[in-house]
A and B are shown apart, each in its own frame.
Chain A
Amino acid sequence: MAKTMDQHFDDLRETRVWRSIFRSGAGSSTLKRALAIQQNVFLHLFSTKVRTRMLSMSATWYLGTLTLGVFLILVATGIPLMLYYHPSVPQAYADTKDLQFVVSSGMFLRNLHRWSAHAMVFLVFAHMFKVFYRGAYRPPREFNWVIGVILLLMTLLLSYTGYLLPWDQLAYWAITVGSNIASAVPLVGEKIRFLLLGGHAVNANALLRFYVLHCMILPLAAMFFVAIHFWRIRKDGGLYSHESEPATVRANAAGTQVRLKEER
């Protein structure tokens, strides 16, 4: 009898090499499926089981998932873009022009990166409002909400620092307008602006600083907080579902008992 695709895959997952890499082997038992999550350094951030109710579109609109997806797209397009880009004046602009007209698929890469960046800002805001209206910030999830707010600010900073990199008029003046706001902070405003730009105006130093922030510091920091964000979902009892909350269940159970007593 010919083996099915699944059986071939199971054979593969039973090989010594596979087991040495992934630790868990083949099998579709609940235990094996749980181990596939729990034995993987990345996947173990998530819980091994999810309430079926939370998979419906209306529960979350998949906004957190989509935000992760768009972040992955941004990393995947951002790294090849770095290969064609020098963060110096005026080379940065020439490199962006080359991406548009010389590099194979350079235009597509840049388009995808830019539209995904806009999509990410939008999705992060949408995710925040959806979580708020679901009431999913309630204890014990308070701190995960705070991490979410930090991630929102990081997303804005990531987008803002990336905005300058093409070094065109649009980039230059958008960052000039934005950084002027920073100087409105009482007492230390000018110092903050100087720290951000590496000078008193948007110049080559600012471009280098924004490049390092955009490609190195902020993505790493975002990944760090995203890891905690996911891990806390599991630790805090999975995705918030009001009907399944211990407090709600207890209140309902107490209500049932009271009613039983009255009936007696």
Chain B
Amino acid sequence: MTNSKDFIAGVDSNAKKSPRRIVFITRRTSAQVKAETEDQIQTFPEVLFRVAVAIQLLAIVLVWTALLFNAPLEGIADPSHTPNPAKAPWYFLGLQEMLHYFPPVVAGVLIPGLVVTALIVIPYFKVNIEAEGLFLKDRHSRLLIFYVVAAALSLFLLLFKVYVALVPTLIVAALMLLAAQSSPQSSSKFLRYLAARPLSYWVMTWFLFELVVLTAIGTFFRGPGWSFVWPWQGSL
């Protein structure tokens, strides 16, 4: 078995194996400022321990859930008997809610396709990487674009009577207007926060808001024939 005493330390002076480097510092350039060394922790065992604890806690929660609540199981699949409403799994109910308003090719293909494409390209746009406050530069032209886009989107949703999607749109638009009126010098912390939000933040927040609202509506507020019901009326 090897232990540390089996090795002999030596200096390797072979220039081919370990070349020496000489740095020339001229008057024009200065040596690179070394970044402050940040406090680090060994993955083994400290981080792995935390990971194990986190997963254990999750497992405890899930096991208790599994002990207390039974997974649903209905009657055997019967193609001749359609339940009303027939619902997709909950994470697709936002899409199913959209199918209620738009033709399948829009709600089922175009919109999810656009969402996935938009998600993928996020890190490849400079505007998302610099992430500067949306209205801090070119305020007037950007406000103009914002008005046109927000109005067009709201009108479109109004035209198709998609009120459930219109409400989050208007709320996000109102917050964006507030952000446009704010600056890094604003008095309240909240306004300074809004002023510093970049375009990607607003688009993503709007998407998250719509996702949550549409999924919740589809899950809890839709009954027979996709009519609006209260959660305590409908059969989930």
Tell which of B46, B108, B119 touches A184, judged by Cβ atoms closer than 8 Å. Answer: B108
Which residue of chain B lies nearest to A180 when distances are taken between CB atoms in the complex?
B104
Contact indicator A52/B39 (Cβ below 8 Å) = yes
Which residue of chain B lies nearest to A14 when distances are taken between CB atoms in the complex?
B1
A224 to B208 CA separation, bound complex (whole angstroms): 28
Known contacts: A19-B1, A114-B71, A184-B108. The answer to whether A72 contacts B55 by CB under 8 A is yes
User: Please, which residues of chain A bring their CB within 8 A of the CB of B96?
Assistant: 177
User: Please, which residues of chain A bring their CB within 8 A of the CB of B103?
Assistant: 184
Contact indicator B109/A186 (Cβ below 8 Å) = yes
Contact indicator B54/A116 (Cβ below 8 Å) = no
A184 to B108 CA separation, bound complex (whole angstroms): 7
**Minimal beta-carbon separation of A97 from chain B (angstroms):** 7
Contact indicator B204/A129 (Cβ below 8 Å) = yes
User: Please, which residues of chain B bring their CB within 8 A of the CB of A154?
Assistant: none
Q: A80 on the interface (CB 8 Å rule)?
A: no
Which A77-116 residues have C-beta < 8 A from chain B?
89-90, 93, 96-97, 100, 107-108, 110-116
User: Please, which residues of chain B bring their CB within 8 A of the CB of A132?
Assistant: 122, 200, 204
User: Please, which residues of chain B bring their CB within 8 A of the CB of A211?
Assistant: none
Q: A138 on the interface (CB 8 Å rule)?
A: yes
A263 to B168 CA separation, bound complex (whole angstroms): 50
User: Please, which residues of chain B bring their CB within 8 A of the CB of A19?
Assistant: 1
Contact indicator B54/A121 (Cβ below 8 Å) = no
- By size class, the interface of chain B is 35 or more
Known contacts: A55-B50, A167-B77, A184-B104. The answer to whether A112 contacts B66 by CB under 8 A is yes
**Minimal beta-carbon separation of A40 from chain B (angstroms):** 9
Known contacts: A112-B63, A169-B83, A174-B86. The answer to whether A65 contacts B51 by CB under 8 A is yes
Contact indicator A257/B33 (Cβ below 8 Å) = yes
Contact indicator A110/B89 (Cβ below 8 Å) = no
Which residue of chain B lies nearest to A97 when distances are taken between CB atoms in the complex?
B73
Main secondary structure of the interface of A (DSSP, over half): helix
User: Please, which residues of chain B bring their CB within 8 A of the CB of A133?
Assistant: 201, 204
Which B111-169 residues have C-beta < 8 A from chain A?
116, 119-120, 122-124, 128-129, 131
Known contacts: A168-B75, A173-B83. The answer to whether A43 contacts B122 by CB under 8 A is no
Known contacts: A30-B42, A184-B105. The answer to whether A256 contacts B33 by CB under 8 A is yes
**Minimal beta-carbon separation of B54 from chain A (angstroms):** 5
**Minimal beta-carbon separation of B46 from chain A (angstroms):** 8
A246 to B35 CA separation, bound complex (whole angstroms): 8
Contact indicator B74/A168 (Cβ below 8 Å) = yes
Which residue of chain B lies nearest to A163 when distances are taken between CB atoms in the complex?
B89
Q: B229 on the interface (CB 8 Å rule)?
A: no
A70 to B63 CA separation, bound complex (whole angstroms): 11
Q: B19 on the interface (CB 8 Å rule)?
A: no
Q: B67 on the interface (CB 8 Å rule)?
A: yes
User: Please, which residues of chain B bring their CB within 8 A of the CB of A114?
Assistant: 71
**Minimal beta-carbon separation of B52 from chain A (angstroms):** 9
Which residue of chain B lies nearest to A172 when distances are taken between CB atoms in the complex?
B77
Contact indicator B88/A178 (Cβ below 8 Å) = yes
A34 to B119 CA separation, bound complex (whole angstroms): 36
Contact indicator B88/A166 (Cβ below 8 Å) = no
User: Please, which residues of chain A bring their CB within 8 A of the CB of B124?
Assistant: 142
Known contacts: A65-B51, A181-B95, A186-B105. The answer to whether A52 contacts B40 by CB under 8 A is yes
Contact indicator A110/B71 (Cβ below 8 Å) = yes
A138 to B95 CA separation, bound complex (whole angstroms): 29
Which residue of chain A lies nearest to B36 when distances are taken between CB atoms in the complex?
A249
Contact indicator B33/A49 (Cβ below 8 Å) = no
Which residue of chain A lies nearest to B51 when distances are taken between CB atoms in the complex?
A65
Contact indicator B39/A69 (Cβ below 8 Å) = no
A113 to B63 CA separation, bound complex (whole angstroms): 10
Nearest 6 A-B pairs (CB), nearest first? A184-B104, A69-B55, A172-B77, A181-B108, A142-B123, A111-B66
A-binding residues in B (CB < 8 A): 1, 30, 33, 35-36, 38-48, 50-51, 54-55, 58-59, 62-63, 65-67, 69-79, 81-83, 86-92, 95-96, 99, 103-105, 108-109, 116, 119-120, 122-124, 128-129, 131, 200-201, 204, 208
In the assembled complex, 5 residue pairs joining A and B whose CB atoms fall closer than 8 Å, in A order, are A43-B48, A55-B46, A111-B66, A115-B71, A169-B75
